[in-house]
Every structure is written in structure tokens, then in C-alpha cells.
Amino acid sequence: MTRVIITAIGSAGDVHPLLGIGAALAARGHEIVFCTHPPFAAAATRRGFMFVPIGTAADYADAMANPALWNPRTSFRTLWAVIAPTLRAHFDTLASLTTPDTVLVGTLWAFSARLMQELYRVPFVSVQVSPSTLLSAHAPPTHPRLTIPRRLPLAVKAALMHSIERYALDKVCGPALNALRAELGLEPATRIFGQWLHSTDRVLCLFPDWFAQPQPDWPAPYRMSGFPLFNDTVACAPDPQLDAFLAAGERPVVFTAGSTLIDQARYARAVRDTLRESGLRGILLRPDAPVEDRAAANEASSFSTLIERRYVPLQTLLPRCRALVHHGGIGTAALAYAAGIPQVVTPFAHDQFDNAQRVVASGCGVRVDGPIEARTLTRALRQVLGSPSLATQCGRVHDRLAASPDGCEAAAREIEGFMQTGLRVPADTRVLSPALALSGQGV
């Protein structure tokens, strides 16, 4: 049995896939230590994982509620201001938990795990949940402010990408990261996102090659495991009202902005106006939706055009719906692909713009930027619901995913295969962690 320490930093879209992968590894007999934000503690312990918090629940709640986190002009700097103070504490925690048979697994912001690999030679699989952070000059990611036109010559694109890394990304992350590196006796790091953060052992991409075509300048060695279609993180009580609504008439359209901080009241008004203009029925998922009495089905729900819920597992809901209007989270997009329904993507921040563009390129949806308004949503829904070619392509992708291995299982197999390849450094040749030397444990 191998101890697998998983570090998952970010929103639910970053954490949930790693919960699914951890569950698949645990089913194979491995010990899972799950390090993430306190709000996800119950989801981790429910699966029998040892849970280790990163930061505090209050800090995480404050960060998610900060409008600057969702503004493309300030999101990166704001996110880093939350992560940077946790680096040393999490590094020390990893050092105390690491045993000779440990493998580290971490998402994009698992800088402390990368430091453990670099300093103590602990085997590390870095995970890319979405392709936007693979800073390829051959296929630059879509960004609301810093998109590099793909038509430019490769040398020009490479120079521009390096400039973005140096003057935007490294400028923000470099001071705090390199201060910690100096404490640990390491030289300063540059090209932090383009090169340094990727494991030199294995990079695992949680998406298929048809969604993001591999590029010559992706970090090596990388593997692609496909979408980890993991969404059902809590057991839901029976909802006869929702069941009655779904059974009452034409399949509805689902609307959600995910965990993005937006004006929910304005969004709800736009959804209602869209349904009124289009004549469609809808389900709105919003965190502040009124709590309904679900003890008995409400006959009136059968005749309404909109029903609101705080949470419904998309994996079971979407196959019963016509289309999905969403924020551009890659996990949400993957579940729409699996359901075979068209998508209208309304990106707000972070990787959502790149994911939205890839949905468009896949032929399974359209992208709508700017303020969410009934007029634009109605036009977009008419476009995706009235296109036979788009419906055909959604069906093809659905069939392709249905015939593909489960993404969580495929990722677990890749990680397990990495454990067995001989890449791991023998325990007696690794550098000893000072923290573990005091306790007599070797890293």
C-alpha cells in the first residue's frame, strides 16, 4: 500500500475531480491523505480519507466572496494573496506526513508539493484540471486580457508568452515563492507557471486530446486521462417537486453560474426574461435559491416555467434536460458533453474563457461574453437548439465519452502506473527532511 498525499487548491471545480481520483486510488488499496480547504472536509472524510486543512474556513470564505477574485483584472493577484501565506505551513505539513513510500499528487497551486519534490526528491504527479495553464506558444490559451493571437509566427508568440510570464505571472508570484525558496536553500525560480510548477516526474492532464490537442511545448512527461466525471459529492434528499417539473412537459434548460461571485438577483431576472422570450422551461441553480418544502410535490410546479434549486447533481440532472447555460467550469462542461446536450457558455473569470472557446471549437456550443442579458441568452439558445449539426456533434461526443474509460479510474491507473515505473528514488538515497530528521522518519 502506498500513501498518496493529494493537495487540491481552488474552487469546487479543482477539488471535486481529485476527490474522485482519490476514491479510485483508495479502492485500489492505497492510503489517501487529502489536503484542501476546510469547507471540503466532510467530502473528504466521508470517503475515508485522512483530511488535512489548508488555511482556515474564514479565509476561504472571504476569498470566495471577494469581488476582486472574479474580476479578470485582479483575479490572479487576489488568488495569489490567499495562497502565498499558506505555502510554508503546508510545506511543513507535507514534510511531517511524508513516509518512504509516499507519492504526492497536486493541482496547479500545489507549490508546496513541488518544493517537496525539488528539495527532498519525493515523487510527485502534478495535475492539470484544465488546459489553460499549459502555457503553450503553439496554442496560446484564451484569456480576457492577455490572449496571444494564434495567427502570429511561432517565434513572436513564444516571445510574447515569455513576456507575460516574466512581467505578469512571475512578478506576482516570484517574491513570496522565492523568499520561501531562499529559506529552504534553493535558487530563485523563474518561468514559474510555464516551467517550474510542473512536476519533472509526471504531469497528468484531466481532459481528452479532442478537447485540448497536445502541443510540442507541453511539459514532459505528460499523460492524458480524460474527463473525471465526478459531481455527486453529497447525497440529496428526494425532490418530488423537481421530479414533477421534469416530467410535466418539454425538457428544460439548466442555468448555473457555478461558484462564481455574481449578482445572483440580476442573473435570476435575466433567466426569467429569457424563458419568457423564448418560451422555454428552465431550472436555475443558485446558492441563494429559496429552500422549498420537498415533502410533497407541488401541483403548481407542473405548470411553472422555472424552478430554482441551490444544488442538484448535474450528472443525474443534465441527461433529462435540453441544454446547459453555464459559467465555463471545465467539470460542468464535461458533464454537459457526457449528457449529449448543447452548451451556452458565459465565462466570467479565470480559466472559464479558455474552456468556453474550446466548447465552441468542439462544435457543441456557443460562447456569450459580457453582461448576462435576456436578449443575448435567447439568441444563443435559439442558435444551439435550432442547429441540427450541433445536435449531431453533441451526440457524437456523448457516444465517444460513453465508450471511453471512466476518467477517475483512468487517472488512478496513470498514478498507480507511475508508482510502478521505477521513476521513484529509493528511500535511502533521498535527501533527509530536517523536520523528519528530528522525528527519526526518512523522506
Please report the DSSP string for 373-414 in residue order. -HHHHHHHHHHHHT-HHHHHHHHHHHHHHHTSPPHHHHHHHH
Q: Which residues pair with 284 in a beta bridge?
A: 255, 308
**How far apart are alpha carbons 186 and 178 in whole angstroms?**
8
**How far apart are alpha carbons 373 and 272 in whole angstroms?**
10
35: in domain: yes
Q: According to the model, what pLDDT value does residue 437 have?
A: 41
Tens-digit pLDDT profile for residues 97-109: 999 999 999 999 9
Work out the pLDDT band at 264, boundaries 50, 70, 90: confident
**How far apart are alpha carbons 370 and 260 in whole angstroms?**
15
Domain that holds residue 113: 3-229+406-436
What Rg value do the Cα atoms of the chain yield, rounded? 22
- Looking at per-residue pLDDT, the higher value among 421 and 245 belongs to 245
Q: Which residues contact 278 (CB under 8 A, 6 or more apart)?
A: 378, 381, 382
Whether residue 189 sits in one domain with residue 265: no
Whether residue 394 sits in one domain with residue 300: yes
Minimal CA–CA distance to 26: which of 9, 43, 8, 1?
A: 1
Are 283 and 304 in contact by the 8 Å Cβ rule? The answer is: no
pLDDT tops 50 at residue 443: no
**How far apart are alpha carbons 35 and 38 in whole angstroms?**
9
Whether residue 168 sits in one domain with residue 41: yes
Domain of 155: which CATH number? 3.40.50.2000
* Cis check: omega of the bond before 221, within 30 degrees of 0: yes
205: in domain: yes
Minimal CA–CA distance to 108: which of 19, 204, 39?
A: 204
234: in domain: no
**How far apart are alpha carbons 8 and 17 in whole angstroms?**
9
pLDDT tops 80 at residue 274: yes
55-69, 207-221, 263-277, 295-309: range with lowest mean pLDDT:
295-309
Whether residue 430 sits in one domain with residue 344: no
443: in domain: no
**How far apart are alpha carbons 59 and 62 in whole angstroms?**
5
441: in domain: no
Whether residue 7 sits in one domain with residue 70: yes
Whether residue 168 sits in one domain with residue 298: no
Q: How many CB atoms lie within 10 A of CB 242?
A: 20
- Global pTM reads 0.89
pLDDT averaged over every residue in the chain: 89
**How far apart are alpha carbons 422 and 417 in whole angstroms?**
10
pLDDT tops 60 at residue 434: no
pLDDT tops 70 at residue 147: yes
- Element (DSSP H or E) covering residue 179: helix 170-183
Are 139 and 215 in contact by the 8 Å Cβ rule? The answer is: yes
Q: What are phi and psi of 47, to 5 degrees?
A: -95, 10
Whether residue 391 sits in one domain with residue 312: yes
Work out the pLDDT band at 169, boundaries 50, 70, 90: very high
The angle at the Cα of 132, spanning 230 to 51, to the nearest 5 degrees, equals 40
Q: Cell digits for 109? A: 497551486
Count of domains forming the chain: 2
Whether residue 135 sits in one domain with residue 274: no
**How far apart are alpha carbons 134 and 161 in whole angstroms?**
11
442: in domain: no
Tens-digit pLDDT profile for residues 80-92: 999 999 999 999 9
Whether residue 216 sits in one domain with residue 136: yes
Share of the chain above pLDDT 90, in %: 72
Whether residue 257 sits in one domain with residue 152: no
Q: State the distance between the two ends of the chain, measured CA to CA, in whole angstroms.
A: 16
Whether residue 10 sits in one domain with residue 133: yes
Whether residue 307 sits in one domain with residue 326: yes
